[in-house]
Structure 1
Amino acid sequence: MSTPRTNWSGNVTYRAPRFARPRSLDELAEVVTGADRVRVLGTGHTFTGIADSADVQVSLAALPAEIEVDPAGSVAISGPVHYAELTRVLHEHGLALANLASLLDLSVAGAISTGTHGSGSRTRGLGSAVRALEFLTADGEVRVLREGDADFAGAVVGLGALGVITRIELAVEPAFEVTQHVYAGLRWPVAAAELAALLGSGYSVSLFTDFDGSGVRQVVVKDRGGHDTELFARLGSRRVDGPRHPMAGGPTENVTVQAAPGPSHERLPHFQAGRTPSSGAEIQSEYLVDARHAAAAVEALQRAAPAFAPVLLVAELRSVAADELWLSPAWRRDSLAIHFTWRRDQAGVAAALPALEAALAPFGARPHWGKVWAMGADVLAERYPRLADFRALAERWDPQHRFRNEFLDERVF
């Protein structure tokens, strides 16, 4: 089968000379052990060459998609399962995941491997739901890690460098409902002074802005049993009528239902499953800073905005609770996640990133592994204190470097 040529948004062209779609674990093992280098391609929602390969690129889409629910509080899934099908099955069993990303059309394995996090001041990233992982390793053998094992915290956000994830066990909880409320008319001086309160005013909260000083375009509050309406009244922000897209002029039929309560998997994401999220033709960057420095980081970005405004479509501010996963952007610190949706202008984004990263440097910004950034491996090692430990872990698991590629060689190793 021919190799897919681009990622989801079209900003990355894959150069892998071979593409494999195994139909069984035995076939997968043959592909892995017979390759010089191999990388797994999930749904292509990363914006870098992290999924590319100098030899073989593998899709797990033809493997059996298995979902085994344990009503006692967990679910086991196979490697190709996406969040859309997983959350639908869980809902049928009266269960849910505590947190979700902005869209459901992501493979679970790919999302956790790159540190995807969702939102919530008291809610940790998606990888924190993992209780066990099964890998097909470079020698074709199966290896299982469980929560509490020595290598577990280093392997969850593993960047695909340890092996192919073939099975995942996740913690679940009873199903719950969420309602989305959208507020507008919030000025920056007021928002900056109350940023922590705003981000903590609901179960999951997003502030959309242009960093142009004019104000917050909209605040989306995802409410699980109530939110702080008095805060918005005091700040002079009004609840809007009708649906709103995070991007000005975006098609509202693509966003998840606003103003009416519904199952968490139909409200926590910003976009409906199967619909085009965001603009589609775009590039994304994201950085996480210590939540204690959230207001200062926002002010620094407002000052730096002229350097990146020409390529910015919209920025989003969210909060993420600290976790213990080595390469999680929220490792051991409650964080402000600052997400940038750029025009699909590779050269323009590349030119803008150094000034943006310089503005965030005093706050120790950690980049999201699946999105674009400019900082080098030396800076990453400072921002991710367990990176050296991860390098050693990957060397033990894959001494032949079969799961490496150009991106990992240059950026991580």
Structure 2
Amino acid sequence: MLEESGAGHYNWAGNLRYAAAEIAQPATVEELQALVAAAPSVRAVGTRHSFNDIADSPALMINLEKLISTPELDESALTVTVDAGMRYGDLAGFLVERGYALHNLASLPHISVAGAVATATHGSGNLNGNLATAVAALELVTADGGLLRVDRSSPDCNGMVVSLGALGINTRITLDVEPAYEVRQDVFTGVPWSSVEENFNEITSAAYSVSIFSSLAGPEASQVWLKSRTDAELPYAGKPDFFGGTAAAEPMHPLPGMSAVNCSQQMGVPGPWSDRLSHFRLAFTPSNGDELQSEYLMDRGSAVEAIGILRGMSAEIAPLLQVCEIRTMAGDDLWLSTNYGADSVGFHFTWKPRQDDVEALLPRMEAALAHLLPRPHWGKLFTLDQEQLQELYPRFGDFRDLALRLDPDGKFVNSFLSRKVLGQA
């Protein structure tokens, strides 16, 4: 078990220095249990791809990188069980070799399974639930050092999947899998905003997964990425135009002027799902230290109105923005999922690394969108407080009760959870 000082350790973006006094890397579940039982305050940290202090701890942080073993594939149940610290890209490689697939991937394959699940991180697709919806079972170390396993038959399972790290430290997670499939990726440029607004549902249903990239300024969305499964109908794959836009003549990066060398395969070349559903390749680590991120998700029926509001604020947003990505996801019944109870649209903002300016802008964006009930991604920058967040989640109170029952002394409560979720109501 490696222990080191937490001083000087930063998150992926470099915008947050962790306050933890030390970081431990247990080599066995038994070591992890002992650490948790003895610690007065503890949090787990994954690949550190959070832009706020959700993973920070005032005392001990646990890194699970030493607790990664070979996944266990159950072909009869169509599930795979993985150690919580495993990266999605590594899991994808394991599954592809055996002829299986996940239903979805996030933009980056570098993120850990536990971190993505705990914050309801998502990919895209009108019919695709976020990554947490694939969880069939999970195991976690509780505050007393015990092991607790729950599955979909457990009464509290829907409250425990998107946990924000408040209920314990995940050790193993079982995910649904399906037979492997191939995907082709086609990119179109210059789709007019008027066309996006008039045909939003048609555009987002044009492929298995669709992303609209833009600066929000000007008359056009800069790029639309279509990720199409080759075992389904391909109405727009290989076409020269798309709702007023034109097929890209070369591979594209979401950011104008940047090389596409670290992006996943485009130009309509079919290939494994693992190399197409994410925007970036596992072999590259794009943009770390060069960006900040925020994201707001709301009912998909509000998409066109939200686009109009944000485009109306483009004079304020564009100077701080690298790119905005618009995606859709299917609704679910996970208590603190940003997609709880409704099919959703997400507005993902990749900001320039100007945190003071971004944090000054966010309250104005949140206020302008407030009547659309935007739910912020739990791991990114936002300013909504606990009272505002509680209004957005019908099961918010139930989650608080569950956290109090599993962790009565607040061992897993850090500053983020105290401010945003588990403080005095």
Shift of 1:117: 1.1
Aligned residue in 2 for 1:298? 307
Residues 1:282 and 2:285 aligned together = no
Counterpart of 1:137, as a letter, is T
Aligned residue in 1 for 2:235? 228
Counterpart-to-counterpart distance in 1, 2:97 and 2:242: 40
Contact 1:65–1:80 under 8 Å retained in 2: no
Q: Deviations over 1:334-369 (max 9, x none)?
A: 011110000111101101101111121111100000
Counterpart-to-counterpart distance in 2, 1:246 and 1:85: 24
Residues 1:254 and 2:259 aligned together = no
Counterpart-to-counterpart distance in 2, 1:333 and 1:241: 37
Shift of 1:161: 0.5
Gaps of 5+ in 2: none
Counterpart-to-counterpart distance in 2, 1:84 and 1:100: 9
Counterpart-to-counterpart distance in 2, 1:36 and 1:317: 41
Note closer, same or farther for the CA distance 1:318–1:278 as it changes in structure 2 (3 Å cut): farther
Counterpart of 1:246, as a letter, is P
Counterpart-to-counterpart distance in 2, 1:85 and 1:204: 21
Residues 1:2 and 2:10 aligned together = no
Note closer, same or farther for the CA distance 1:57–1:98 as it changes in structure 2 (3 Å cut): same
Aligned residue in 1 for 2:345? 336
Aligned residue in 1 for 2:175? 170
Contact 2:191–2:242 under 8 Å retained in 1: no
Counterpart-to-counterpart distance in 1, 2:90 and 2:313: 41
Counterpart of 2:62, as a letter, is V
| 2:156 corresponds to which of 151, 157, 166 | 151
Counterpart-to-counterpart distance in 1, 2:17 and 2:107: 24
Q: Secondary structure at the match of 1:190?
A: helix
More helix by share: 1
Aligned residue in 1 for 2:130? 125
| 1:51 corresponds to which of 55, 72, 75 | 55
Aligned residue in 1 for 2:319? 310
Moved more, 89-98 or 235-244: 235-244
Aligned residue in 2 for 1:115? 120
Contact 1:24–1:64 under 8 Å retained in 2: no
Aligned residue in 1 for 2:201? 196
Counterpart-to-counterpart distance in 2, 1:271 and 1:278: 11
Contact 1:181–1:239 under 8 Å retained in 2: yes
Shift of 1:235: 2.4
Q: Deviations over 1:370-405 (max 9, x none)?
A: 111011111100112211111111000000100110
| 2:251 corresponds to which of 236, 240, 243 | 243
Aligned residue in 1 for 2:144? 139
Aligned residue in 2 for 1:346? 355
Contact 1:181–1:221 under 8 Å retained in 2: yes
Moved more, 234-243 or 284-293: 234-243
Shift of 1:267: 0.2
Q: Secondary structure at the match of 1:132?
A: strand
Note closer, same or farther for the CA distance 1:139–1:251 as it changes in structure 2 (3 Å cut): same
Counterpart of 1:235, as a letter, is F
Counterpart-to-counterpart distance in 2, 1:27 and 1:244: 46
Contact 1:367–1:373 under 8 Å retained in 2: yes
Residues 1:95 and 2:100 aligned together = yes
Moved more, 324-333 or 234-243: 234-243
Q: Secondary structure at the match of 2:186?
A: strand
Counterpart-to-counterpart distance in 2, 1:210 and 1:134: 41
Contact 2:13–2:288 under 8 Å retained in 1: no
Residues 1:362 and 2:371 aligned together = yes
Q: Secondary structure at the match of 1:383?
A: coil
Q: Deviations over 1:47-95 (max 9, x none)?
A: 0001110110110111242300112211111122111111111111100
Gaps of 5+ in 1: none
How many aligned positions are there?
A: 413
Counterpart of 2:313, as a letter, is A
Task: State the identity as a percent.
Answer: 42
Contact 1:304–1:359 under 8 Å retained in 2: no
| 2:33 corresponds to which of 29, 32, 35 | 29
Aligned residue in 2 for 1:42? 46
Counterpart-to-counterpart distance in 2, 1:169 and 1:178: 24
Aligned residue in 2 for 1:60? 64
Aligned residue in 1 for 2:333? 324
Trace 1:4-23 onto structure 2 (pairs within 5 A).
Answer: 5-23=9-27
Counterpart-to-counterpart distance in 2, 1:261 and 1:160: 38
Q: Deviations over 1:202-259 (max 9, x none)?
A: 0000000111132100000001124332998462211111110001122211100102
Counterpart-to-counterpart distance in 2, 1:384 and 1:239: 40
RMSD of equivalent CA atoms: 1.4
Contact 1:202–1:227 under 8 Å retained in 2: yes
Counterpart of 1:313, as a letter, is Q
Q: Secondary structure at the match of 2:261?
A: helix
Note closer, same or farther for the CA distance 1:184–1:9 as it changes in structure 2 (3 Å cut): same
Counterpart-to-counterpart distance in 2, 1:397 and 1:302: 44
Note closer, same or farther for the CA distance 1:28–1:86 as it changes in structure 2 (3 Å cut): same
Counterpart of 2:322, as a letter, is L
Aligned residue in 1 for 2:278? 269
Moved more, 90-99 or 231-240: 231-240
Shift of 1:278: 4.7
Shift of 1:18: 1.4
Contact 1:182–1:218 under 8 Å retained in 2: yes
